[in-house]
Structures are given as C-alpha cells and as structure tokens.
Amino acid sequence: MTEERLRSLLVRGLVGDESAYRTFLGELAAHLRSWLRGRLARLPEEAEDLLQELLLTVHNQRHTYEPKQPLKPWVHAIARYKLIDLLRRRSRNEMLNDPLDNDDELFAAADGEAAEARYDLAKLLDQLPDRQRLPIFYVKIEGASVADAAKRTGMSESAVKVGIHRGLKALAAKIRNIE
Amino acid sequence: MLSAGAEPVNARRVAWRYLLAVSGGSLAALALTAGALKLNPALPQELSAPMFWAREAFCASLAMAGLVGTARLARPGRPLGSVPVGIALPVIAMWALAALSLHAAPPVARANLIFGHTARVCPFLIAMIALPVFVALVWVLRGLAPTRPRLTGAVAGLAAGSLGALAYSLHCPELAAPFIGIWYLLGITICATLGAWAGTRLLRW
C-alpha cells in the first residue's frame, strides 16, 4: 500500500537515511502533483509553484510528523493549508498577479507600453535580493528554462523555483504598496 | 536538492521546547504574582480548605486539557480527540459546586459568594499574569505547523490563562465556587479570545 510504503520511507528518512528520504520526496511529489491537478486545473503554473512550495514545506516541517501518526492526514492537512493560503492570496490580488504571471499579455502590448512596463519592472526587480531577482530575470523575462537559469546563477533548480515564487510574491506586494 | 539536507530529526527537541516554555512561563507568572501582587498571607491556613484544592484542580485540569489540545493542533492532521470534553468537565464540575453552594446559602449571603471582594480586578489580573505563559507557548508554536491558527491560538490562550489563574490563585483570597466559576473562567476566556486573535496573526507559516 502507498500509505505504508511512503510512511516507512519517511520514517527511515527522519533518522537520516538519505536515499529513502529522496525516494519519499520523489513519490510524494507525484502524488501531490495529481492531487493539485484536480484542484488547480485552470492554473497549471500556480500548481507547479505550489507543488515546489509544498515539497519545501514538507521538508521544513518534517519534525512535526510523529512516526506513529498516519501519513496521509498529515500531508493532506499541510497541502490543504497551503492551497487555501494560495487561493486566499490570489483572490485578494487577482488583478495584480495576473499580468505578472502572464508574460505574453504583458509584452504583447504596444511597443511603447511594453518598454515602459519593462522599465518599471526593472526598477522593482532591482529592489529584490539576487536569489530572487536573477531567477525571475532569466526565466520570466528572458524566457530561459529553470535548468538553464540554475546553471547560470549557480543555484539549485529548486532554489531557482522557490526564488521565482517568493520574488513574484514580493513584487506583487510592492506593486500593491505603490497603488 | 532537499534530500541533501536530510540530517536526522531530533524527536525530543519539540518536547524539550514545550517543557522549557511551560516551566519558564509558569515561573514568570509566579514571579509576577509574588512580586507585583504579593502572596495571600492566609495561604498556610487555606491549605486545609477543600475549596482551595478544588480551585487548584479546576485551574490545573483546564491547563492540562489546553496544553494537550495545543500540542495536537500544532501538528498537521492530528485530531483533537477528547480535548473538548477535557475542557468542559472542569467547568461543569465547578458550576455544579457553585450551584450547590448558592442553593445552600441564605439569600443575603449569595451576592458575596458571587462577587467576593475582588471580582472587578480578578479576570484582568489573571490575563496579565498569563501573558508570559502565552508568549512562551507562541514561541514553541512558531516552530511547529498549526493548520488552524485561530483555534490553536485560542486553545493555547486557554492553557496560558489556566496556568496564569493557577499562579494568581496564590494571591487571590477568594474560595467561593460561584466566584471561581464566573471570574476565573472569565479571565481564562479573555486569554482564549486574545489567543484566537493573536493566532491568526502570529501562527502563520
């Protein structure tokens, strides 16, 4: 059974078995991806970002898992908490997030507008720390792949994804402050 | 990747933090009671009064239920189980004692059983003395992952309020069950309400 298998992998990971832990995260990612696909069908990019955030959270909060406890409710409670958090955030600043996430729309506008938007974005981006600014610049503005950006910044791929995610969140907050 | 940072998790660390927070917070609450309010001079004689121990048991059992509830809510996917019953039982028992003592007392003495001499300050002093305990519990909770921040804050506030009331009882001269069932409970409820408010702000992760 998946529950039993994943649980024993995690429990071994908690006492320091690195390869068991790696397998656990990999299989958990597959489960979470299909769980998210059902819930964020219309937001595939958000779903991928949230998946990365969930894996990071599971990792950071693994000390809150008790080995006797069933695994599924634990993972489920974390996933639901983060999903609700995301949806709440989105509904609060839906209009501000969309143009940022959707590069096509933003840069398909008239040339002058696009140049202005780029200029404003550059000013905002400059305020972010490098670990967020560079991934956003390479991936979201230049259109490089995550792997490519990881190579160019010397960061790991997951760090690049987390940087993009956090950076976009910070940008949205900055834009909200301007208006 | 994440798995590269898979150093073993120390399962005892969380338990140590709880122990540190509860003992440190309670000591601070006792110091506040003894320092800012002075201990009740009649304390040695009261030790033989059954109502003294009923009051201590009321506060201690509420604190225990609150701490168990806090620990459960702090970990994702743990059900609350019998915690609500554990919170309700001491309250019902104290109210039953209060009803008995009001029923047995002559009508002119009833107001005194309810208001005593300190009803006006009691709830607020309890909330003040509970504050260090609540701060300590929030410190532990911020290292954990409560998926229901408001409820977690409320239950942690209840635990802190009950421990605060336990410390405050060493100053408080009131032993009447109606007084405790109303004003002590009100002080604890203030803490739970403030805890719920603080929970949504301080316990996000």
- Residue of B3, B4, B14 with shortest CB distance to A63: B14
Nearest chain B alpha carbon to A62? B9
Q: Please give the ipTM for the structure prediction.
A: 0.84
**Distance of residue B17 Cα from the nearest chain A Cα, in angstroms:** 13
Per-residue pLDDT band for A67 (boundaries 50, 70, 90) equals: confident
Rounded Cα distance between B191 and A122, Å, is: 47
B13 interface with A at CB cutoff 8 Å: yes
Q: What is the pLDDT of residue B41?
A: 92
Is the CA virtual torsion B170, B174, B176, B179 positive or negative?
negative
CB A137 within 8 A of CB A125: yes
Sort out which chain B residues have CB atoms less than 8 A from A25's CB and list them: 1-3
Q: Measure the CA angle with vertex B63, ends B58 and B68; round to 5°.
A: 130
B145, A75: Cβ pair inside 8 Å? Answer: no
DSSP state of B144: S
pLDDT higher than 60, residue A58: yes
Rounded Cα distance between B103 and A111, Å, is: 85
Q: What is the pLDDT of residues B8-40, one digit of tens each?
A: 888 788 999 999 999 999 999 999 999 999 999
Identify the burial level of A157 via C-beta atoms within 10 angstroms of its C-beta, where 0-12 means exposed, 13-18 middle and 19 or more buried.
middle
B77, A75: Cβ pair inside 8 Å? Answer: yes
pLDDT higher than 70, residue B99: yes
pLDDT higher than 50, residue B113: yes
Q: What is the pLDDT of residue A105?
A: 44
How long is chain A? 179
- % of residues, chain A, pLDDT over 70: 82
A61, B1: Cβ pair inside 8 Å? Answer: no
- Calculate the CA B141 to chain-centre distance: 16
Sort out which chain A residues have CB atoms less than 8 A from B205's CB and list them: 57, 61
Q: What average pLDDT does range B49-57 have in this prediction?
A: 96
A167 interface with B at CB cutoff 8 Å: no
Sort out which chain B residues have CB atoms less than 8 A from A162's CB and list them: none
- % of residues, chain A, pLDDT over 90: 29
Q: What is the pLDDT of residue A104?
A: 47
Sort out which chain A residues have CB atoms less than 8 A from B76's CB and list them: 61, 64, 73-75, 77-78, 81
Q: What is the pLDDT of residues A69-121, one digit of tens each?
A: 899 999 999 999 999 888 888 877 665 555 444 444 444 444 555 555 556 67
Q: What average pLDDT does range B124-153 have in this prediction?
A: 96
Contacts of A100 (CB under 8 A, 6+ apart): A106, A168, A171, A172, A175
**Distance of residue A41 Cα from the nearest chain B Cα, in angstroms:** 24
Residue B76: closest CA among B155, B152, B147: B147
pLDDT higher than 50, residue B186: yes
**Which of A 7-36 lie inside 8 A of B, CB atoms?**
13-18, 21-22, 25
A168 interface with B at CB cutoff 8 Å: no
A74, B75: Cβ pair inside 8 Å? Answer: yes
Rounded Cα distance between B181 and B90, Å, is: 10
Q: What is the pLDDT of residues B143-167, one digit of tens each?
A: 999 999 999 999 999 999 999 999 9
